[in-house]
Amino acid sequence: MKQFSVAIDGPAGAGKSTVARKVADFFGFTYVDTGAMYRAIAWKALQDGVDINNEQAITALAESLHFELDPKGIRVNNLQLTDEIRTPQVSTLASTVATMVGVRQVLVKKQQEIAQIQSVVMDGRDIGTHVLPQANLKIFLTASIEERAMRRYKELLHKGLTADLKTLQEEIRHRDENDQNRVHAPLRQAEDAVLVDTTNRSLEQVVESIIQLCRHQM
């Protein structure tokens, strides 16, 4: 079989990364978390004191970074990044750098190069619409905002952290708005994507249905 690609897009907290990872594992494909790339740029800008609103400087920073896929997260310039790119601050800053056309051009090119040489399950916001418009299967994964906030809340409690459900809902709503209303590659369902609503469905059910959809395309 030649390279097979699955694009999974959707709003924050819909469960894309968990689902994408499981589908990738099932078929032995590479999982590509494109959100981690935007997050890594935001994190590095914070570390290096680069002005997050300076588009030219942030684009130059994006160009200078070397990304490597890593089962536990992402490696950037040989440094493994995991929890430090998942903080609320980095989440918000990632959605700011994601509005910059230069940053998107740099990352889209890197993401396309990855998918050219291997079969992938890639998740993000613009995979089906911009990064892999010829993907074998496109999924738009969503869930109600209440459910997405509740999942995030439970995840944080599970990690022994405290959280406020209303604040989490507000953060997610704000990020959705940013992602849907930006000028460059806004979050939207590709015309040929299959809509999968995960509200009230278990992880196993969702993964199984996507595996079946993949099989139909193979």
Binding site for ligand C5P (CB under 6 A): 12, 34-35, 38-39, 94-95, 98, 124-127, 175, 179
From the CB of residue 17, how many other CB atoms can be counted at a distance below 10 Å?
Answer: 17
Shortest Å distance, C-beta 1 to ligand C5P: 25
**In the complex with ligand C5P, which residue's Cβ is closer, 94 or 149?**
94
From the CB of residue 51, how many other CB atoms can be counted at a distance below 10 Å?
Answer: 10
Buried b (16+ CB within 10 A) or exposed e, 72-99: ebbebeeeebeeebbeeebbebbbbbbb
Shortest Å distance, C-beta 215 to ligand C5P: 25
Shortest Å distance, C-beta 127 to ligand C5P: 6
Element (DSSP H or E) covering residue 58: helix 55-64
**In the complex with ligand C5P, which residue's Cβ is closer, 126 or 147?**
126
**In the complex with ligand C5P, which residue's Cβ is closer, 1 or 142?**
142
Q: Distance of alpha carbon 53 from its chain centroid, rounded?
A: 21
Beta-bridge mates of residue 33: 123
Integer CA distances (angstroms), 194 to 4, 53, 95, 185, 189, in order? 17, 35, 25, 19, 9
Nearest to 38 by CA among 151, 123, 159: 123
CA-to-CA distance for 163 and 155, rounded, in angstroms?
10
Shortest Å distance, C-beta 51 to ligand C5P: 19
195, 187 Cβ separation under 8 angstroms: no
Shortest Å distance, C-beta 138 to ligand C5P: 13
Shortest Å distance, C-beta 126 to ligand C5P: 5
**In the complex with ligand C5P, which residue's Cβ is closer, 116 or 215?**
116
**In the complex with ligand C5P, which residue's Cβ is closer, 53 or 215?**
53
Q: Which two tokens stand for residue 72?
A: 């536990």
With tokens 């493994």, the residue in question is 80
**In the complex with ligand C5P, which residue's Cβ is closer, 39 or 110?**
39
